[in-house]
């Protein structure tokens, strides 16, 4: 079962963008106030429809409590675009909300379980994945959040996605989540496109976690060509079973009307680059369809 903002689905057949944002605009500053307005929601829905014309079958919104999550808006966008949308349980880390600083692991665990089993932010819309992360410094609050997320994952069967602020944090993420009892195959470590070389992916891949090359089209960070080289090298050593591809759209200026390639970046810009580098369509499908599907599928 895959849990979307419009209900539970048995399966999703086709490409899934597993690390996106449909509401927030981080152009200027971070925090809960940077949500897109109603006019932008229309634009986001249009951009999703455009990506659907290239094959997109579902999208995961990884905004959480403290970073502009609004499940009602996600449901509106989902209905407007006629696209399954998965929303996330969890808490933000930049800055860490006061409730996280003040609360116990058990309280945070139970909040995440409620998000998945009852509804997010007082709504009846349930989360289908758990998201947490670390800021530049790994704080005691982050440790609480990671343990809480692991326990909520074990209790609900939902997977955990983590945000890394640096590739070197990934090892701590894996160690903390698995020490709390998590199966590594239920963990997705984000932003591994920042890896210095494929060696970083090979090393992390040995732990059994999945890795996100999830900023395709965000060329301010790394060019698509550099990311395509990295993905091709990873596929050449058999890591295609542990990689997901996404574009982490979180800025207005990446939307189509403002000149960006938006949620279509992976399909329109990146697929040809991978093919050119010898990555087979079967491997692309693995990264875009099978892997995100497996993560989103509740294990019980």
Single out the segment in contact with Zn ion by CB under 5 A; choices: 127-135, 137-145, 203-211, 244-252. Answer: 244-252
Q: Which helix (H) or strand (E) holds 27?
A: none
The CB-of-101 to Zn ion minimum distance in angstroms stands at 22
Comparing CA positions, the residue from 233, 229, 224 lying closest to residue 269 is 224
d(CA 267, CA 295): 21
105: nearest Cα among 155, 133, 162, 146: 146
Residue placing its CB nearer to Zn ion in the complex, 200 or 248: 248
Q: CB of residue 261 vs Zn ion: minimum separation in angstroms?
A: 17
Question: How many residues sit in the footprint of Zn ion (CB under 5 A)?
Answer: 1
Helices (H), 53-180: 71-81, 98-102, 105-117, 140-156, 170-179
**Minimum CB–partner distance for residue 60 and Zn ion (Å):** 10
Q: Report the residue number whose CB is nearest to Zn ion.
A: 248
268-292: burial string, b at 16+ Cβ within 10 Å, e else:
ebbbebbeeeebeeebbebbbbebb
The phi, psi pair for 259, rounded to 5°, reads 100, 0
Task: Rule CB under 5 A: say whether 25 interacts with Zn ion.
Answer: no
Burial classification of residue 206, based on how many CB atoms lie within 10 Å of its CB (0-12 exposed, 13-18 middle, 19 or more buried): exposed
Minimum CB–partner distance for residue 292 and Zn ion (Å): 14
Binding window for Zn ion (CB under 5 A); candidates: 96-104, 219-227, 246-254, 286-294: 246-254
Whose Cβ is closer to Zn ion: residue 47's or residue 248's? Answer: 248
Candidate residues 50, 248, 273, 289; the one interacting with Zn ion per rule CB under 5 A:
248
User: Counting contacts by CB under 5 A, is residue 61 touching Zn ion?
Assistant: no
The answer to whether residue 115 forms part of the interface with Zn ion (CB under 5 A) is no
Q: How far is the CB of 275 from Zn ion (least distance, A)?
A: 26
DSSP 8-state assignment for residue 49? H
Say if residue 241 is exposed, middle or buried (CB neighbours under 10 Å; 0-12, 13-18, 19+).
middle
Nearest distance, CB of residue 133 and Zn ion, angstroms? 9
**Least distance from C-beta 7 to Zn ion, angstroms?**
24
Q: Which C-beta is closer to Zn ion: that of 199 or that of 253?
A: 253
Is position 240 an interface residue for Zn ion (rule: CB under 5 A)? no
Nearer to Zn ion, 92 or 271 (CB): 92
Closer CB to Zn ion, residue 232 or residue 250?
A: 250
Residues that bind Zn ion (CB under 5 A): 248
């Amino acid at each position: 079962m895959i849990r979307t903002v419009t209900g539970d689905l048995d399966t999703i057949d086709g490409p899934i963008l597993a690390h996106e944002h449909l509401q927030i605009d981080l152009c200027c500053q971070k925090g809960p106030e940077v949500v897109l307005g109603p006019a932008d929601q229309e634009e986001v829905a249009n951009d999703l429809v455009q990506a659907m014309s290239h094959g997109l079958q579902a999208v995961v919104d990884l905004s959480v409590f403290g970073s502009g999550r609004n499940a009602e808006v996600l449901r509106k966008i989902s209905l407007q675009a006629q696209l399954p949308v998965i929303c996330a349980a969890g808490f933000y880390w930049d800055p860490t909300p006061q409730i996280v600083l003040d609360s116990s692991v058990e309280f945070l665990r139970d909040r995440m379980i409620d998000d998945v089993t009852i509804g997010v932010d007082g709504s009846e819309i349930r989360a289908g994945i758990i998201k947490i992360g670390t800021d530049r410094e790994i704080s005691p609050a982050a440790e609480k959040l990671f343990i809480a997320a692991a326990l909520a994952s074990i209790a609900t069967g939902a997977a955990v996605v983590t945000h890394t602020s640096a590739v070197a944090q990934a090892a701590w993420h894996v160690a903390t989540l698995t020490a709390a009892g998590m199966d590594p195959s239920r963990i997705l470590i984000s932003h591994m496109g920042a890896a210095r070389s494929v060696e970083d992916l090979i090393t992390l891949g040995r732990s059994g976690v999945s890795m996100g090359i999830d900023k395709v089209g965000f060329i301010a960070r790394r060019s698509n060509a550099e990311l395509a080289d990295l993905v091709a090298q990873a596929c050449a050593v058999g890591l295609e079973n542990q990689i997901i591809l996404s574009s982490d759209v979180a800025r207005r200026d990446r939307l189509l009307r403002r000149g960006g390639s938006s949620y279509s970046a992976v399909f329109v810009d990146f697929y040809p680059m991978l093919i050119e580098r010898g990555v087979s369509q079967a491997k692309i499908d693995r990264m875009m369809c099978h892997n995100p599907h497996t993560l989103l599928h509740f294990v019980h």
